[in-house]
């Protein structure tokens, strides 16, 4: 049994204890590593706390440890094209064997010099020159962007990325984002190439793997570990949050465990998810007050017509809020969502 809490609730940090998404990880790594990659982009979509960043980080670490890969992590709030040029330049300069003798790009990114002769250039020109050297050295470049949004910055970057791909540059891209943001980017008329990009939706983690982790970490029996695992519903953040809470409160009993668990879900995830829902979507979620509810009952409780129901259902399924376990029934995907949001205003 561990002596220190191995779980974490810090977003963006890879936990010490995590449930691997082996199939998804292998799909991206094997696709990008193929001699003739069928795709040079992957989109990872999911609700906040579903494990998008962890999956992307896992892939970037695997590829980053290979000699022939360079990994560049970009911040979506900054100028993406400029950041890419500067960071790629820094990465290449940290490995002098990648660049031809006499090749130099100024650190500030405003000029380019060969054998000391400088001239001004744009960031695309910088990237072009760097890739000429990288291609000769058989290097590949992976760009990762976490929590993308559809704005002019992304539009410029994605449009230029498409040009780089047409030039046969060994350049690859992973982006994570919420359903609504990925949808807007994919359906931008100028970025239709992203419609053909493979998309991975981060669904529930394996309850079997969660059970094994809890059993090993807490030293509980199989029954208790499975009880805890089912409480998470496979939600990635819940796996970490319940782990933190059970570690801190297991001596005090399950009431104390659930109290802190709810507080963590509330503070870190559910307030933000709730604020992203429309009034009608909140009414639907509030009407799902048991594990499974008939769609017809929800229509009665909310006053939604049968003809309109399918539209709302599809939106909430796409957002990762509800699922359809069987025909004509729906249930919440998130653990204790109604208990935590009971006092939220509709």
pLDDT at 115: 44
Least confident of 13-17, 56-60, 206-210: 13-17
Q: What average pLDDT does the structure give for the chain?
A: 90
Q: What is the pLDDT of residue 12?
A: 60
Q: Which fold has domain 278-346?
A: Arc Repressor Mutant, subunit A (1.10.10)
- Which percentage of the chain shows pLDDT scores above 90? 77
Q: Tell me the DSSP string of 172-186.
A: EEEEEE-HHHHHHHH
CATH of domain 22-201: 3.40.50.300
Say if strands 329-332 and 171-177 run parallel, antiparallel, or are unpaired.
Answer: unpaired
Burial zone of 109 (CB within 10 Å; 0-12 exposed, 13-18 middle, 19+ buried): middle
Residue 100 has pLDDT above 70, yes or no: no
Number of continuous H segments (helices) and E segments (strands) in the chain: 15, 11
The answer, as to whether pTM is greater than 0.85, is yes
C-alpha distances in angstroms, 121 versus 97, 106, 111, 301?
Answer: 24, 11, 6, 63
- When comparing pLDDT for 342 and 3, which is higher? 342
* More reliable by pLDDT, 61 or 291: 61
Distance (Å) of CA 141 to CA 130, 138, 292: 11, 10, 46
Q: How high is the pLDDT of residue 102?
A: 52
Q: pLDDT class for 264, splitting at 50, 70, 90?
A: very high
Report the pLDDT value the prediction gives residue 59, as an integer from 0 to 100: 96
């Amino acid at each position: 049994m561990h002596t220190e809490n191995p779980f974490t609730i810090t977003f963006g940090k890879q936990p010490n204890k995590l449930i691997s998404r082996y199939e998804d990880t292998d799909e991206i790594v094997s696709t990008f590593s193929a001699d003739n990659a069928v795709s040079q982009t992957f989109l990872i979509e999911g609700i906040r706390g579903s494990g998008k960043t962890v999956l992307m980080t896992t892939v970037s670490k695997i590829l980053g440890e290979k000699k022939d890969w360079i990994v560049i992590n970009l911040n979506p709030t900054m100028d993406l094209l400029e950041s890419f040029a500067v960071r790629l330049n820094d990465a290449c300069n940290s490995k002098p064997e990648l660049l031809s003798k006499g090749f130099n790009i100024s650190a500030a990114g405003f000029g380019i010099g060969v054998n000391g002769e400088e001239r001004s250039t744009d960031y695309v020109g910088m990237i072009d020159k760097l890739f000429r050297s990288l291609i000769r050295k058989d290097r590949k470049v992976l760009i990762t962007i976490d929590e993308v949004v559809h704005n002019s910055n992304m539009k410029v970057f994605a449009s230029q990325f498409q040009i780089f791909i047409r030039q046969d540059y060994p350049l690859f891209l992973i982006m994570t984002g919420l359903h609504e943001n990925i949808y807007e980017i994919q359906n931008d008329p100028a970025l239709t190439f992203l419609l053909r990009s493979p998309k991975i939706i981060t669904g529930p983690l394996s309850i079997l793997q969660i059970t094994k982790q809890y059993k090993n970490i807490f030293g509980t029996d199989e029954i208790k570990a499975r009880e805890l695992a089912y409480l998470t519903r496979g939600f990635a953040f819940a796996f970490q949050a319940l782990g933190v809470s059970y570690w801190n409160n297991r001596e005090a009993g399950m009431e104390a465990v659930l109290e802190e668990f709810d507080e963590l879900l509330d503070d870190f995830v559910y307030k933000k998810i709730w604020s992203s829902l429309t009034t009608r979507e909140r009414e639907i979620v509030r009407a799902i007050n048991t594990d499974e509810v008939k769609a017809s009952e929800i229509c009665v409780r909310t006053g939604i017509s049968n003809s309109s129901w399918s539209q709302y259902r599809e939106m909430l399924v796409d957002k990762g809020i509800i699922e359809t376990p069987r025909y004509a029934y729906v249930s919440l995907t998130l653990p204790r969502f109604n208990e935590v949001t009971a006092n939220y205003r509709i």
